[in-house]
């Protein structure tokens, strides 16, 4: 009989604590302690990184747009400055991470009930999200490093060590803004398909309006608006940190604005977030 | 606290669940003991899944108390969860992960040590030793059911909750699952399951509760329920071939109308 075979296997390999005991104590124990959160987080991280690895084609796409820009702008870079080009590319990469990558993965898993399954286990709910976010932080690191390498190898734009270090820091701050924006979208929009189209639209608008407006193609008024938009403030802090000596009070204001955006988006996104779509 | 057969491992007291203004679970109370298979029955929309969700901590009850292995789910949610294994009505695991990776993930979450050999044993036990690198959605319904049960019980919880575990299974797979559930009972697990199959309830459940419109309207062993209601006019009028079955009692108590 099947169930007997099960017990035999388990017994033989002492897999089952209760089965390997003598008949008298053949009982299951009640747990009086919660499994360690650090162990749970490690397992979640392994799973989330594996998932990201299986989706590595989307990471390639993430890197593709910045590369295309760096390559096609090669001639222009002398005119507009290395910092302008690199900060544009990193901003676009960060936008893609927060909007396309993070929010769509969350929306899809929520739709499929992946979160509900995790939530019935004794892991604190925050650890489910923290694990996801750590994967995103690694992606931010990856995109930033990648832009630096292509920028230096292909466009011969190099920064001072302080410039590189500071830019990694501001990339995380800017990344937080876009992850917050992604969180806000999955908080406000329940349906995974709608999240997908919304994030695509926002991404497209950000890149098109941001990039061209920033170049002054769309007029002075819009340029000013863009400068204080989530696109502009992130770009400003990135460009500012690439040349620390040029960091101005305007850059500091942009940093404050970026943090304010990040906090506001995340607050709304977390407050409105539902773990299931039913 | 221990789990001698007969000791209470789940207590639900005066549970109320609402979705907005809709009152889905109304003042529900019952208890599941160690070494008992308890069935929650009721028409579509009766409130079975909502009741389970409250026990599982997926939704916050409006009122009432739930105790799992002595832990109040409102006050000690993680302790309560450490003592339960759950198979959801619509289970889904991360679609990118393989079977082996999913099992490792859940073993890790419960801090259950999982050697390569143990993993092999688990897969062998559910007859999926050749499928460790398959994705969950590449499995048949019966195979998926076995995987989610093995994951639900990977930490050997005292309480096992299963929402319609045999829906969509063929007779062989269903029998196999019954045997597994019964083997868990023998070991002292308390099992709470929902089902639409009266045959299943009669065959495996020690006690059942019938829910309708959010209320528990009857609670007893299948045989006692049949015996107490065999002379009800409603029950007799729906019976076929002169023999009163649990299904007759169920329809007699909950009415003939199909729920919308
Ligand atoms: N998230 C929700 N929002 C609003 N109403 C809900 C929600 N979930 C369930 N309901 C309602 O609550 C009632 C009970 O639903 P529940 O899923 O608990 O029923 P059930 O007994 O499990 O039914 P079934 O046998 O069909 O699985 C139903 O009327 C359902 O429409
Ligand atoms: Mg249900």
| Any domain includes A209 | yes
| Any domain includes A26 | no
B17 and A CB contact within 8 Å: no
| Any domain includes A86 | yes
Give how far A7 is from chain B: nearest CA, Å.
9
pLDDT over 80 (residue B219): yes
| Any domain includes A225 | yes
What is residue A243's DSSP assignment?
S
Give chain B positions within 8 Å (CB) of A121: 81, 106, 109-110
| Any domain includes A99 | yes
Taking only the tens place, the pLDDT of each residue in A29-50 is 888 888 899 999 999 999 999 9
Q: Give the mean pLDDT of chain A.
A: 87
> Could you tell me whether strands B159-163 and B190-194 are parallel, antiparallel, or unpaired per DSSP bridges?
parallel
| Any domain includes A235 | yes
| Any domain includes A185 | yes
Taking only the tens place, the pLDDT of each residue in A99-152 is 989 999 999 999 999 999 999 999 999 999 999 999 999 999 999 999 999 999
If one counts the domains in chain A, the total is 1
What is residue B259's DSSP assignment?
P
pLDDT at B142: 85
Give how far A266 is from chain B: nearest CA, Å.
23
| Any domain includes A30 | no
Bridge partner residues of A166 (DSSP) = none
Strand order in the sheet with B37-41: B84-87, B159-163, B190-194, B37-41, B207-212, B215-220
Residue whose tokens read 């988006």: A265
Measuring CA to CA, how many Å separate B130 from each of A15, A231, B104, B119, B124?
Answer: 20, 50, 16, 12, 8
Bigger pLDDT: B18 vs B236: B18
Find the domain containing A70 and state its range: 3-10+36-272
Bigger pLDDT: B46 vs A210: B46
- Ligand 1 centroid, distance to B43 Cα (angstroms): 11
> Who surrounds ion ligand 2 at CB < 5 A?
B 48-49
Taking only the tens place, the pLDDT of each residue in A256-268 is 999 999 999 999 9
Which residue minimizes the CA distance to atom 25 of ligand 1?
A: B44
The region of weakest confidence among A6-20, B51-65, B188-202 is: A6-20
In contact, A117 and B148? CB cutoff 8 Å: no
For ligand 1, residues with CB inside 6 Å are A 278; B 19, 22, 24, 42, 44-50
Catalogue the long-range contacts made by A234-237 (C-beta closer than 8 Å, 24 or more residues apart). A234/A91, A234/A94, A234/A173, A234/A174, A234/A177, A234/A178, A234/A258, A235/A87, A235/A88, A235/A91, A235/A210, A236/A87, A237/A170, A237/A173, A237/A174
pLDDT at A19: 39
pLDDT at B2: 53
pLDDT at B156: 92
> Could you tell me whether strands B71-72 and B63-68 are parallel, antiparallel, or unpaired per DSSP bridges?
antiparallel
Instruction: At B87, list the tokens.
Output: 């198979």
Which residue minimizes the CA distance to atom 6 of ligand 1?
A: B19
């Amino acid at each position: 009989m099947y169930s007997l075979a099960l017990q035999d296997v388990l017994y033989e390999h002492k897999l089952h604590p209760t089965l390997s005991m003598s008949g008298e104590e053949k009982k299951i124990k009640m747990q009086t302690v919660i499994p360690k959160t650090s162990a749970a987080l490690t397992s979640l991280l392994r799973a989330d990184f594996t998932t990201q690895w299986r989706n590595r084609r989307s990471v390639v796409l993430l890197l593709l747009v910045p590369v295309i820009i760096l390559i096609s702008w090669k001639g222009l870079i002398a005119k507009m400055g290395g910092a302008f080009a690199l900060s544009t590319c990193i901003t676009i990469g960060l936008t893609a991470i927060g909007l396309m990558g993070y929010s769509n993965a969350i929306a899809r898993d929520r739709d499929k009930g992946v979160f509900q399954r995790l939530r019935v286990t004794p892991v604190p709910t925050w650890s489910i999200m923290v694990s996801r976010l750590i994967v995103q932080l690694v992606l931010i690191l990856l995109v930033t490093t990648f832009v630096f390498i292509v920028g230096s190898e292909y466009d011969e734009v190099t920064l001072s060590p302080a410039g590189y270090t500071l830019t990694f820091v501001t990339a995380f701050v800017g990344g937080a803004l876009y992850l917050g924006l992604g969180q806000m979208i999955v908080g406000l929009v329940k349906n995974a398909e709608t999240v997908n189209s919304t994030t695509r639209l926002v991404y497209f608008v950000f890149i098109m309006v941001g990039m061209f407006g920033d170049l002054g193609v769309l007029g002075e008024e819009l340029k000013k608006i863009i400068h204080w938009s989530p696109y502009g403030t992130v770009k400003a802090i990135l460009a500012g940190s690439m040349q620390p000596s040029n960091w101005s009070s305007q850059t500091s204001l942009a940093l404050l604005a970026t943090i304010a955006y990040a906090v506001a988006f995340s607050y709304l996104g977390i407050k409105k977030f539902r773990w299931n779509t039913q | 606290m221990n789990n001698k057969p007969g000791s209470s491992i789940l207590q639900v007291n005066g549970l109320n669940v609402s979705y907005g203004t809709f009152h889905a679970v109304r003042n529900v109370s019952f208890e599941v003991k160690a070494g008992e298979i308890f069935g929650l029955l009721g028409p579509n929309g009766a409130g079975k899944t909502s009741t389970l969700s409250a026990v599982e901590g997926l939704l916050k009850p409006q009122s009432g108390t739930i105790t799992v292995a002595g832990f109040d789910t409102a006050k000690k949610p993680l302790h309560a969860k450490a003592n339960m294994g759950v198979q959801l009505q619509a289970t889904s695991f991360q679609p990118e992960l393989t079977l082996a990776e999913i099992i490792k993930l859940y073993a890790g979450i419960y801090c259950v040590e999982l050697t390569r050999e143990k993993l092999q044993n688990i897969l062998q036990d559910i007859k999926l030793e050749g499928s460790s690198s398959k994705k969950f959605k590449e499995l048949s319904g019966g195979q998926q059911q076995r995987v989610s049960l093995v994951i639900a019980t990977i930490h050997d919880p005292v309480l096992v909750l299963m929402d319609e575990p045999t829906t969509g299974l063929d007779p062989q797979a269903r029998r196999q699952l019954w045997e597994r559930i019964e083997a868990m009972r023998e070991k002292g697990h308390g099992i709470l399951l929902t089902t639409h199959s009266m045959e299943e309830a009669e065959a495996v459940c020690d006690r059942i509760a019938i829910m309708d419109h959010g209320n528990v309207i009857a609670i007893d062993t299948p045989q006692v329920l049949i015996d107490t209601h065999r002379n009800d006019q409603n029950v007799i009028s729906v019976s076929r071939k002169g023999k009163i079955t649990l299904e007759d009692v169920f329809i007699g108590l909950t009415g003939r109308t199909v729920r919308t």
